[in-house]
Amino acid sequence: MLTSSLRVILMLCAFGLGPIGYAKAQSRARTSQPCILIQQTKPSIVKSDDSGITTEPILITIKAVGRPEDLRDGQIIYLEDLIEKRSIPVGDLHAGVQTVTVPSGFQMNSSSELFDLEIVGSKLTNAYISGMTLNSPNYVPPSKTSPAVANSSSGTASDEVEESDQPIERIEPGVDRQEAESILQFGRDDIGITSSDSIIKETSGDETQNPPQTLTLRGVNFKDGMLVSFSTKKGGQPVEATSPLTHTKVLATLKKPSGYTPNNPSDLMSSVVIVPPTITHSVESAFAIRAANAKSADDCK
């Protein structure tokens, strides 16, 4: 069983029985009313297994103000992207500082840091890429090797293929010659991927406000509109989505031999595909506290 970590966003307020969405507005109400405030949690980064089940308790220190009848039936509320998912009864609270506990074994959301993709309809393993990385939002990619350096490293292999009856006839600047020559491994009608390029990062919040993230795929027999299937896991459950290939173009062409029709494709191609937000989205987990009549407050006195 793998061990991972979940970052928990703890809301520095608590909720009464009113709708969750009104918590912030309620917090500006008179602080003389019954209220509950989260002061501290331990740990701030929670250990969990690969299914999002916590392997250690979470201790939440709160300060409560109110009469005993106001603080009855306390609950820890678990939220994902500010949507209430489940609650944990903690009994009656009392005025003053106290600690409530989320027991280990609690199911939280855990997003995989990897995803897979496959071109729909292809029968080849070459049209499948597994274990692609979802980088953190602050990830800075290393500088790329210039195309001139990359191409110069393949000179020997290229010279050998140039002696064959299918040398490279045309190639765009910056395209790796070895990759162009590698399409000889495919059958004439095969759909296959030779490489991919782009840095994909985890996203959060309102996905309609996040810019689309794209992958560039290189391979053979691509066409605009071909579907790419993406898959990952969130909360231990599989998540799948599809997105079409776009902006398909030819990067390199092998010379057609004379006297026979080769049983391999002649063009190295590239296409762009948008990675679906359902694949990149990382749920923001949070806890809040509520009781019978306690209202939320940023400053509970």
Q: What's the pTM? A: 0.70
**Do 157 and 58 belong together in one domain?**
no
pLDDT at 145: 53
Half-sphere exposure of 121 (CA within 13 A, CB side): 12
- Main-chain dihedrals φ then ψ at residue 160, nearest 5 degrees: -65, -40
CB atoms within 10 A of CB 245: 20
**Do 30 and 150 belong together in one domain?**
no
CB atoms within 10 A of CB 164: 12
**Do 33 and 68 belong together in one domain?**
yes
pLDDT at 7: 52
Q: Which residue, 35, 2, 30, is CA-closest to 295?
A: 35
267-297: b or e for each residue (b if 16 or more CB lie within 10 Å)? bbbbbbbebbeebbbbbebbbbbbbbbbbbb
Angle at alpha carbon of residue 53, lines to 236 and 81, rounded to 5°: 75
Within-domain flag for 21: yes
**Do 127 and 274 belong together in one domain?**
yes
**Do 161 and 259 belong together in one domain?**
yes
Structural domain count of the chain: 2
**Do 120 and 266 belong together in one domain?**
yes
Sign of the C-alpha dihedral, residues 197, 198, 201, 205?
Answer: negative
Q: Which residue, 115, 153, 131, is CA-closest to 243?
A: 115
**Do 88 and 168 belong together in one domain?**
no
Within-domain flag for 204: yes
Could you tell me the residue range of the domain that residue 253 belongs to? 114-280
pLDDT at 26: 42
Within-domain flag for 39: yes
Within-domain flag for 158: yes
**Do 229 and 180 belong together in one domain?**
yes
Instruction: Indicate the DSSP class of residue 292.
Output: S
Within-domain flag for 65: yes
Bridge pairing between strands 237-254 and 227-234: antiparallel
pLDDT in tens, the chain (301 residues): 444 555 554 443 333 333 333 333 344 444 468 999 999 999 988 888 767 788 999 999 999 999 999 999 999 999 888 889 899 999 999 999 999 999 999 988 777 789 999 999 887 778 999 999 998 888 887 766 544 333 333 444 444 444 677 899 999 999 999 999 999 999 999 999 999 998 999 998 888 889 999 999 999 999 999 999 999 988 778 999 999 999 999 999 999 888 788 899 999 999 999 999 999 998 888 899 999 998 667 777 7
**Do 221 and 106 belong together in one domain?**
no
Within-domain flag for 101: yes
* Residues 6 or more apart whose Cβ sits within 8 Å of residue 185: 126, 192, 264
Bridge pairing between strands 83-91 and 128-133: unpaired
**Do 275 and 141 belong together in one domain?**
yes
Within-domain flag for 239: yes
**Do 182 and 55 belong together in one domain?**
no
Could you tell me the two tokens for 7?
A: 């970052």
CA distance 85 to 140: 34
Asked if residues 235 and 109 have their Cβ atoms less than 8 Å apart, the reply is yes
Within-domain flag for 301: no
Q: Which residue, 215, 223, 172, is CA-closest to 196?
A: 215
CA distance 30 to 279: 43
φ/ψ region of 66 (left if φ > 0, alpha if ψ in -120 to 50, else beta) reads left
Asked if residues 227 and 243 have their Cβ atoms less than 8 Å apart, the reply is yes
Instruction: Indicate the DSSP class of residue 111.
Output: B
pLDDT at 31: 47
CA distance 181 to 196: 16
pLDDT at 106: 92
**Do 136 and 192 belong together in one domain?**
yes
CA distance 252 to 167: 11
CA distance 267 to 251: 7
Could you tell me the two tokens for 28?
A: 């500006």
What's the CATH number where 8 sits? 2.60.40
Angle at alpha carbon of residue 296, lines to 293 and 297, rounded to 5°: 130
